[in-house]
Amino acid sequence: MYIKLIEPKLMKRPMDTDLKIRMSPPLGLYTIATLLRDHHKVEVQNESIEPITYDRPDIVGITVTVNSLPRAIEIACRFRAQGSLVVAGGIHITTAHQLIPTDCFDALSIGPAEGSWPRIIEDAQLLGRLQPVYHCSADFKAADIVAPSYDIIKEKDYLFCNIVHTSRGCPFKCDFCYNSGPLHAYMRRPIADVLADIKATHSRHIMFIDDNFVGNIPWTRQLLQAIKPLNIKWNAACSINVAQHPDLLDQMTDAGCRSLFIGFESINPSSINSVHKVQNSTADYEHAIAELHSRGIMINGSFVFGLDSDTPETFGSTIDWIVKNKIETVTSHILTPYPGTVTYNEMAHSGRLTTTDLSLYDTAHVVFKPKNMTAEQLYNGYLNVYREVYSWKNILRRMPDDHSQRFAYLTFNLLYRKYGALSDAVCRLVGYQRFGRFAELISRY
C-alpha cells in the first residue's frame, strides 16, 4: 500500500519566524514510518516545508494539534474526495477525540501509534474500510515504542535533527496541560533503545524532547549512567522539582547537561495552585535557579499568563523577576484551554470561552474571558514580555555570570529571538541545516 503521512502547516506566533517551524522534524510521523516502511511505500510531508502533493495514496495519516485541526480537516476532505482513506492522530486527537466531528476523517487513532496503526493497515488491506476509532492496544508497553526513521528525514530542511525522546507523557497532571487528559500515559523507553537513537542522529549534541526528562528519578539516574560515556552535550525539559535532588543535578552535569526547559508558569503561588501544578513551589524557585546556575546549566523558562490570579501588574513583576534571576531564555504563553483538559471543561461549563475557532488555540491568542484583566490587556502584556525580555538592555542584564555559557546565551537571544528575521534570511541562503550546525558549534565555546 501507499501511505502518506502529513503534518499540517504550523501557524507562526507574532514573535516567531520560520526558524520556529523549521526547528525540528515531526518525529511522530517518522515513528509511524518505521512501523510501515518495510512492507509499504511511505512518504512524509511537512506542509510547513513544502506544499502537499494531492496524489492518490491508499491511506493518508495526519498528525493533529488543536490549532491545526481546521487545516487538517481541509486536507482530509480533499484526499477523501479522491478516494483515499484518511486517519487523524496526534496529541489533540488523543486528548479530545470525543469532540472531533465524526464526518471529517475515516478513522481516529487514539494513543500511541504503535498500538493502533498495524490494525489500521490490516483493516484497510482486508476490508477496504476502517473502523471509526482505533484505541491503542490495551497491552501496549514501553518496549513496544519504536524509533523514528532518522535515515529518511530530509535534514537540509531543518535546523536540528538531533532530537530524541527517552519517554512519553508526564507523571504530573496540570489542569491546563494536554497531559491532564486521561488517555496520556507516562512511559519510559528501554535505555538501550534511547542509546540507539542517540547514535542514529550522528550528533554529539542531543536535544531530548520528553515532556519531563526526570519524570522517574531512579530511571533517570540509570539513563545518565548510560549516556555519560558517550561524551555528548544535551538539553532537555524537566520539572522544577529536579532541584530538590542536588546529587541528580551533579550527575546530569557530569553526563553533559547544558540547559533545561523549566515550566515555571507563574511566580504567583495562587496561580500555580489554581491549576494543580503540584510539583512547583514558587517559594523554592530562586533556590532552584541558583542550584542550576551554579552547575553551569542554563534555563529556558516557560511562563503562562492569564491564569485566574493574574492581573495587569503580573507582567511587569514577572519581567523584573526574570531579569533579576538571569533566566537565560524565556518562552511566554497566553493560557489556552485545550479541548479535553480540565481547564477547558471548567471554562466551557462557566461560559468563559469566547471563540470556537480552534486555529486561534495556539497560546498566542486570547480565547477566553480573563478574570482580572481585559482580553486586550492580556494580549498586549504577553507581547510586552517578549519585547522587554529581549530588549538590548535586558539581554545585557541577564548575561550569565558563567563565561562558558555566554556564546550559547547570545546565540539564542540574538540570532533566534532579537534578530530572528535576519537569521531566517541567512538560512534561506545557506540552508537551515548549515545554520543549525553553526549555532551548535559556536554555542560550545
Are both 112 and 169 inside the same structural domain?
no
Tell whether 437 is covered by a domain.
no
CA quadruple 167, 171, 177, 181: dihedral positive or negative?
positive
How many domains, in total, are found in the chain? 2
Q: Beta strands 167-168 and 257-265: pairing type?
A: unpaired
Number of Cβ atoms within 10 Å of the Cβ of 148: 24
Cβ-count burial of 55 within 10 angstroms (0-12 exposed, 13-18 middle, 19+ buried)? exposed
Q: With contact defined as beta carbons under 8 Å apart, do 178 and 91 qualify?
A: yes
Helices (H), 181-284: 191-200, 217-227, 246-254, 269-274
Are both 229 and 284 inside the same structural domain?
yes
pLDDT of residue 142: 87
Torsion of CA 97, 103, 106, 108, to 10 degrees: 0
Tell whether 430 is covered by a domain.
no
Are both 226 and 311 inside the same structural domain?
yes
Residue 286 domain boundaries? 159-398
Tell whether 153 is covered by a domain.
no
Are both 110 and 246 inside the same structural domain?
no
CATH number at residue 209: 3.20.20.70
Are both 167 and 198 inside the same structural domain?
yes
Task: Say what percent of the chain tops pLDDT 70.
Answer: 95
Residue 274 has pLDDT above 70, yes or no: no
Task: Say what percent of the chain tops pLDDT 90.
Answer: 75
Are both 27 and 89 inside the same structural domain?
yes
CATH number at residue 39: 3.40.50.280
Are both 227 and 364 inside the same structural domain?
yes
Distance, CA of 196 to CA of 206 (rounded, Å): 13
Tell whether 97 is covered by a domain.
yes
Distance, CA of 7 to CA of 45 (rounded, Å): 6
Are both 63 and 177 inside the same structural domain?
no
Position 137 confidence tier, pLDDT thresholds 50, 70, 90: confident
How confident is the model over 395-419, as a mean pLDDT?
A: 91
Tell whether 254 is covered by a domain.
yes
Are both 371 and 260 inside the same structural domain?
yes
**pLDDT tens-digit series, residues 331-352:** 999 999 999 998 999 999 999 9
**pLDDT tens-digit series, residues 289-323:** 999 999 999 999 999 999 999 999 999 999 999 99
Are both 107 and 193 inside the same structural domain?
no
How confident is the model over 38-61, as a mean pLDDT?
A: 96
Are both 35 and 171 inside the same structural domain?
no
Residue 184 has pLDDT above 80, yes or no: no
